[in-house]
Structure 1
């Protein structure tokens, strides 16, 4: 995909690439600190890289057809790795993101009505109300250093709370943020035993994660109990995601969710929704602060728009392209790892049972054979008449297991960025480069300070 640009695009900072000959144990040491710093130049140039992971082979796939095969054509042959399950199960339980087989099919069918375009459109007023409040608070903080990362986390958490439960997160927000920080700082990192032992063999960190899960699920259950206590008028239409999820039934079996299952589904939607959207918005604001000309294009597009409906959101073509380019450079899920259940052939490579398949959006989105100027911030590449290959761009995954909440997340991100940039001019007040690192999602190594002024 060739991109013509009048001015030189910015190239945001990234971690140094690892030596291609980095030893296994050297790579293992880096993984715990920053997974995306473990890949060398070969990983950005070659279509398939084969290695070894203890007794099994490992493959990094950067070829769209090979990725299509694993995520779509033969997806049932590939399951999450033990390390992936260990990282996610304590916070997501057996919710949609981790479920397999019939359990996944039941959950996907049951949840589908809650995430239709119409359902998302009905939730936009919740989003706009939170954005109005956020902009009013930011008005009082113009011309002073502010932490926009924290503000995005609070804002998206508030949106998650209102769209899920129709109540604010003033009382519960600090507790939820503490859970997220606690897990990400220690328990959400992959340790040596996490990667080599079967899931059925608990590691020392698994015991700590189990204790965390007990506290976490009790907290989510309290949120659900509070929402149920608020009730719903008989015959009234659903007013939030909880109503939709609680009332949803599998169209084939007629079954809904048990209370235990509902806890896992709610936890999945709140965490996956607010954390990934907050991170994407932070990176978008950072990129626009580095690139004032592109920031002005966003502001120009939003000028005169009401931005309070899905129709308004759909008109923000350039702002959407900025979000799409942000998620190309900083994909929320930087790595998808799968273990083969049975033998297979992937793009001529023989895959055996237990072999590890790695599809890394971080690599795929910056691959030199797939993208022109892969490390540069060029939103207009997503307004081209030649869109990227569907399996070369995976911010929300692909295939049957594509993120069910993608339309909701995209609408929220475009609406929030358009409203914020339409209201404020944003600059960096911190000269230190912000380096992305991968733990659970693609996070900044520090929260830089910004300065905003009213337009």
Structure 2
């Protein structure tokens, strides 16, 4: 994909690439701190890299046709790895992201109506109300150092709370954020035994995760009880995602979600909806602070727009390209790992039962055979007629298990970025380079301070 650029694009900082001969135990030592720092130059140049993971082979796939085979053509042959299940089950339970087989089919069919473009459009007023409040709060903090990552986390959490429950998160937000931080800092990191033992064999960290899950599900159940107590008028249209999910029925069986299932679905939507969007918005603001010219293009596109409907959001073509390019450089899910249920052939390579397939959007989105200037920030690459291969750009996954909430996340991200940059000029007040870390999601190694001024 060739991109012509009038000026030299910025290249944001990244962790040093690992030596290609890094030992297995050396790689394990790095994984817990920053998974994306374990890959060497070969991983950014070759289409398929074969290795070993204990008794099984492992494959890193950077070839779109091979990825299409695993995620679409033969997706039923590939399931989550034991380590992946251990990392996600305590916070997501048996929700849509982890469900398999008939359970996944039931959940997908039942939830689909809640995430149509029309349903998303009905939730835009919740987003705009939170953005109005956020901008008003930022107005009194201009010209002073500010942690915009924390602001984005609070803002997207508030949007998640209102779109899910129609109530603010002033009381519950700090508790929810504490849950997220507690899990990410310790329990969400993969330890040696997490990767080598079957899921049925609990590790020491699994016991700690089980205790966390008990507290976490009790908290989510309390939120649901509070929302149900608020009620809904008979015959009134759904006013939030909870109404849509609570009333959802499988079109084939007529069944809805049990209370336990609803807890896992709500937990999945809140976490997937707020944390990944907050991180994507942080990275977008960081990139625009590094690139003032591109920031001014976003502000220029936004000028004079009301930005309070899906039609307004759809007109922000350049802002959407900035969001797309941000998620190329900093994909929320930096790694998708799958274990083969049975033997297969992928791009000519023989795959045996139990072999590990790794599709790393971090690598794929920066691969030297797939992208021109792969490490550079060039939003206009997404405004050309030459679109990237569908399986070379995976910010929301692909195939039957593509993220159902992608339209919602994209609308929220474009709306928030357009409104914020339309209101404020954003600069960095901290010269320390921000290094991306692969821990659950693609997170910054620290939260830099910004300075904002009113336009």
Q: Name the TM-score, length of structure 1 as normaliser.
A: 1.00
Q: Which residue of 2 aligns with 1:441?
A: 441
Q: Could you tell me how far 1:269 is from its partner in structure 2?
A: 0.1
**Following the alignment from structure 1 to structure 2, what is the Cα–Cα distance between the partners of residues 320 and 55?**
44
Q: Which residue of 1 aligns with 2:394?
A: 394
Q: Could you tell me how far 1:58 is from its partner in structure 2?
A: 0.1
Q: Could you tell me how far 1:346 is from its partner in structure 2?
A: 0.1
Which runs of structure 1 show a deviation greater than 3 angstroms over 4 or more consecutive aligned residues? Answer: none
CA deviations on 1:127-154 (whole Å, 9 max, x unpaired) are 0000000000000000000000000000
**Following the alignment from structure 1 to structure 2, what is the Cα–Cα distance between the partners of residues 251 and 241?**
18
**Following the alignment from structure 2 to structure 1, what is the Cα–Cα distance between the partners of residues 45 and 347?**
17
**Following the alignment from structure 1 to structure 2, what is the Cα–Cα distance between the partners of residues 273 and 438?**
18
CA deviations on 1:317-366 (whole Å, 9 max, x unpaired) are 00000000000000000000000000000000000000000000000000
Q: Could you tell me how far 1:233 is from its partner in structure 2?
A: 0.4
**Following the alignment from structure 1 to structure 2, what is the Cα–Cα distance between the partners of residues 396 and 315?**
22
Q: CA RMSD in A?
A: 0.2
Q: Could you tell me how far 1:241 is from its partner in structure 2?
A: 0.1
Q: Could you tell me how far 1:305 is from its partner in structure 2?
A: 0.3
Q: Could you tell me how far 1:259 is from its partner in structure 2?
A: 0.1
Q: Structure 2: any 5+ residue segments left out of the alignment?
A: none
**Following the alignment from structure 2 to structure 1, what is the Cα–Cα distance between the partners of residues 357 and 407?**
27
CA deviations on 1:225-249 (whole Å, 9 max, x unpaired) are 0000000000000000000000000
Matches within 5 A, 1:10-409: 10-409=10-409
**Following the alignment from structure 2 to structure 1, what is the Cα–Cα distance between the partners of residues 138 and 43?**
42
Q: Could you tell me how far 1:452 is from its partner in structure 2?
A: 0.3
CA deviations on 1:243-286 (whole Å, 9 max, x unpaired) are 00000000001000000000000000000000000000000000
**Following the alignment from structure 1 to structure 2, what is the Cα–Cα distance between the partners of residues 35 and 29?**
10
Q: Could you tell me how far 1:404 is from its partner in structure 2?
A: 0.3
Q: Could you tell me how far 1:85 is from its partner in structure 2?
A: 0.0
**Following the alignment from structure 2 to structure 1, what is the Cα–Cα distance between the partners of residues 447 and 286?**
10
Q: Could you tell me how far 1:170 is from its partner in structure 2?
A: 0.2
Say which SS state the counterpart of residue 451 (structure 1) adopts: strand
**Following the alignment from structure 1 to structure 2, what is the Cα–Cα distance between the partners of residues 113 and 256?**
13
CA deviations on 1:365-410 (whole Å, 9 max, x unpaired) are 0000000000000000000101000000000000000000000000
**Following the alignment from structure 1 to structure 2, what is the Cα–Cα distance between the partners of residues 452 and 31?**
35
Q: Structure 1: any 5+ residue segments left out of the alignment?
A: none
**Following the alignment from structure 1 to structure 2, what is the Cα–Cα distance between the partners of residues 350 and 291?**
45
Q: Could you tell me how far 1:92 is from its partner in structure 2?
A: 0.1
Q: Could you tell me how far 1:180 is from its partner in structure 2?
A: 0.3
Q: Could you tell me how far 1:218 is from its partner in structure 2?
A: 0.1
**Following the alignment from structure 2 to structure 1, what is the Cα–Cα distance between the partners of residues 280 and 175?**
22
**Following the alignment from structure 1 to structure 2, what is the Cα–Cα distance between the partners of residues 55 and 384?**
45
Q: Could you tell me how far 1:40 is from its partner in structure 2?
A: 0.1
**Following the alignment from structure 2 to structure 1, what is the Cα–Cα distance between the partners of residues 302 and 181?**
34
Q: Could you tell me how far 1:168 is from its partner in structure 2?
A: 0.1
**Following the alignment from structure 1 to structure 2, what is the Cα–Cα distance between the partners of residues 22 and 347?**
26
**Following the alignment from structure 1 to structure 2, what is the Cα–Cα distance between the partners of residues 33 and 139?**
36
Q: Could you tell me how far 1:38 is from its partner in structure 2?
A: 0.1
**Following the alignment from structure 1 to structure 2, what is the Cα–Cα distance between the partners of residues 125 and 311?**
13
CA deviations on 1:98-139 (whole Å, 9 max, x unpaired) are 000000000000000000000000000000000000000000
> How many pairs does the alignment contain?
455
**Following the alignment from structure 1 to structure 2, what is the Cα–Cα distance between the partners of residues 384 and 52?**
40
